[in-house]
A and B are shown apart, each in its own frame.
Chain A
Amino acid sequence: MIIYDALIAPFTEFEFMRRALAAAIALALGGAPIGVFLMLRRMSLVGDAMAHAILPGAAIGYLLSGLNLFAMTTGGLIAGFTVAILAGVVARTTELKEDASLATFVTIVSIKGTNIDLLHVLFGNILAMDDQTLLVIAFNATITLVVLAVIFRPLVIESVDPVFLRTVSRAGAPAHLAFLALVVINLVNGFHALGTLLAVGLMILPAGIARFWSRDITGMICIAVASAIFSGYAGLVLSFQTKVPSGPAIILVAAVLYVGSVLFGSVSGLFRQMFPGRHLEA
C-alpha cells in the first residue's frame, strides 16, 4: 500500500497530476525522437540556440495580447520557423555550416529581443495544464510523429550520407527543413510545460541516454522515448512527494538517468570500458 500511495495515488487522486502526466508523455513522444536526430546530426546545442530565437517571438505575442496561449505559441512558432528556415537555406546553399548560420540568425533576432524580460512568463508550469494547453501539446506531438514518419528515410540517409541522397532524390532539402520546423514545434511545445531551457533538456538528455544503450537508430529512439516518459513520471512523483518544482524535478530525473548511462551504459559506458572482459577468438 505504501508503494501504491507513493507511486500511483497522486495520479488517481488529483486531476492536475493526471494532466501533467499526459503532458509529459506527449512531450516525450514528440521531443525525444527529435532529440535523437539533433544529437546524431551533431546539432545538440541547436535546440538551445533555437530556444533563443523563439523567445522574442513569444514575447511579441505576449506584448500584443497578454498571457494568451495562442498568441504566444503563434509568435514563438513564427519566429522559430523564420530563423530555422533561413538558417537551413543558408546552410544548404552556401559554405556556411548549419550551426554557424543558425547562430547568425539567432543573434539577429536577439537584437530585437534582449530588452524584454520574459523569463517569468516562460517558466512553464506543468502542474497547471488547462484543456487548451494540453490539446496544443498533444496536437503538436501528433504532428511531429506523423511528419517524422514521412521524412524518416530521407532524414536518416541525409544524416549519414548527404551526397548520396542528393544524387538519388530531391527529398533532402524538404526533409531537412521539415526537420528544423519540427525542432521549433517541439521547443514551443516544451516551453508551455517546462520553460524554454528545460524543454531543451527533455529533448537532448533522453537522446544522450539512448546513445549509451543502443547501436541502431530505432533502438535509440525507443530508449529515448521510454526514458523521457519515465523521467516525466518519476519527476512528477518526486515533485509531489518532496515539493520540488515539477519541471526541474523531471529534468533532474533525466539527468540522473544520463549520469547512470554514462557510467554503466552497455555501449561505451565508462564501466564497460574499464572492464571489457577478455578478448575473443575471432
Chain B
Amino acid sequence: MAAQLQFQDVTLGYDRHPAVHHLTGEVASGALLAIVGPNGAGKSTLFRGIVGILAPLAGSIVTGNLDLRDIAYLPQTVDIDRSFPISVFDLVGTGLWRASGFFGGMGKPAREKIAQALAAVGLNGFENRPIGTLSGGQMQRMLFARVLLQDARLIVLDEPFNAIDARTSADLLALVRRWHTEKRTVLAALHDMDIVRANFPETLLLARGQVAWGATAEVLTTDNLLEARRMCEAFDDSAAACAVDDMPSRAA
C-alpha cells in the first residue's frame, strides 16, 4: 500500500523547544491509526504539522499528492467564535467548501448532504440554532458532521470523543470505521485504550519521540505505556541545541 503520509525525521515545536522530536515513519494509505500518549506528548502538535498550520523546526512531513482540501481536521480545542451569528446548518455547510468554494450555490443536493451529516451525528432539528446555543458535546458533534461533509482522503481527529456521551461516541466510532472501509486514511489521538484496542488496528505511542509504532496489541503493552509515562512534560529552558542534526549519518 502506498504511503499517504511520511514523517521524515520531523521535529515540531514551539520557540525552538521540540514537542515532537525526530519522528520518522510512514502512514499507509487507508490506515486507521490511533495516536496515544500522555498529556504533552506531542499528539496535537503532530496533527498541526500534518494539516500545515505549524511548520516543522526540522525534517519534513510529506503528504504525497494530497491537496489542502483532501485533509479534514478536527482540532481538540476549537477556536470557534461561539458568539458569531451563524446557524448550525450554515456552519456544517462550510464543510462543503471543497465543492462550493467562493460562489458555488447551495442547491438541493448540497442541502440534503448537510441534512444527512446532521442526522448522522444525531443533530436533526438543530439546523436553525445559532452555534452559541449548543452544549459542548453538541458542538463536537456538529464539527464531526462538518468533517463528514469534507469528504477528505485524510482525516485527522484530535481527541474526537471529548465531552461526548457514550451512545454518541459509539455512533461516531461507527462513522470512523465506515471511513476505514471506504479506504480513507484516519488518524485519531485518543486516551481511551479500550476504544483504541477495539477499533484501531495500528497505534503510534508518542512521548515527544516515538515509543512504539505498529500493531495495536504489540504497541500498547504495559512496558511501553510505562516508558511513555516517564517522559518529562516540561520544556527545559536551559536545554542546549539538539546535536542530532549535526551527526554525519543524519546530514547525509
Residues of A near any B CB (own CB < 8 A): 40, 150, 153-154, 156-157, 159-164, 166-171, 214-217, 220
Q: Which residues of B contact A217 (CB under 8 A)?
A: 84-86
Which one of B68, B91, B130, B131 lies within 8 Å of A169 (CB-CB)? B68
CA distance A153 to B99 in the complex (A): 13
Q: Are A161 and B81 in contact (CB under 8 A)?
A: yes
- The chain A residue sitting closest to B67, CB to CB, is A168
Q: Which residues of B contact A150 (CB under 8 A)?
A: 102
User: Can you add 18 more A-B contacts, CB < 8 Å, to A159-B81, A164-B146?
Assistant: A40-B81, A153-B97, A153-B101, A157-B97, A160-B80, A160-B91, A160-B131, A161-B81, A162-B79, A163-B75, A164-B73, A166-B53, A167-B68, A167-B71, A168-B69, A168-B98, A168-B150, A216-B90
B79-115 near A? 1/0 per residue, CB < 8 Å: 1110011110011001001100111000000000000
Q: Which residues of A contact B75 (CB under 8 A)?
A: 163
Q: Are A216 and B87 in contact (CB under 8 A)?
A: yes
CB distance from B73 to the nearest CB of A (A): 5
- The chain B residue sitting closest to A153, CB to CB, is B102
CB distance from B96 to the nearest CB of A (A): 10
Interface residue? B136 (CB, 8 A): no
- The chain A residue sitting closest to B51, CB to CB, is A167
- The chain B residue sitting closest to A163, CB to CB, is B79
CA distance A169 to B68 in the complex (A): 7
Q: Are A160 and B81 in contact (CB under 8 A)?
A: yes
CB distance from A121 to the nearest CB of B (A): 39
Q: Which residues of B contact A171 (CB under 8 A)?
A: 102
- What are 23 A-B residue pairs whose CB atoms fall within 8 Å in the complex? A40-B81, A40-B84, A40-B85, A153-B103, A154-B102, A156-B86, A160-B80, A160-B131, A161-B78, A161-B79, A161-B80, A163-B78, A164-B146, A166-B52, A167-B51, A167-B52, A167-B71, A167-B73, A168-B98, A215-B130, A216-B87, A216-B90, A220-B85
CA distance A154 to B94 in the complex (A): 10
CB distance from B81 to the nearest CB of A (A): 5
CA distance A150 to B102 in the complex (A): 7
Q: Which residues of B contact A166 (CB under 8 A)?
A: 52-53
Which one of A154, A161, A214 lies within 8 Å of B85 (CB-CB)? A214
Q: Are B94 and A164 in contact (CB under 8 A)?
A: yes
CB distance from A212 to the nearest CB of B (A): 12
CA distance A117 to B94 in the complex (A): 48
- The chain A residue sitting closest to B98, CB to CB, is A168
CB distance from A280 to the nearest CB of B (A): 14
Q: Which residues of B contact A153 (CB under 8 A)?
A: 94, 97, 101-103
Which residues of chain B (113-165) have a CB below 8 Å from chain A? 130-131, 146, 150
Q: Which residues of B contact A159 (CB under 8 A)?
A: 81, 84
- The chain B residue sitting closest to A159, CB to CB, is B84
CB distance from A188 to the nearest CB of B (A): 26
CA distance A215 to B91 in the complex (A): 14
CB distance from B1 to the nearest CB of A (A): 25
Q: Are A169 and B78 in contact (CB under 8 A)?
A: no
CB distance from A158 to the nearest CB of B (A): 10
Q: Are A216 and B78 in contact (CB under 8 A)?
A: no
CB distance from B70 to the nearest CB of A (A): 10
A160 touching B86 in the complex, CB below 8 Å, given contacts A167-B73, A168-B150, A215-B130: yes
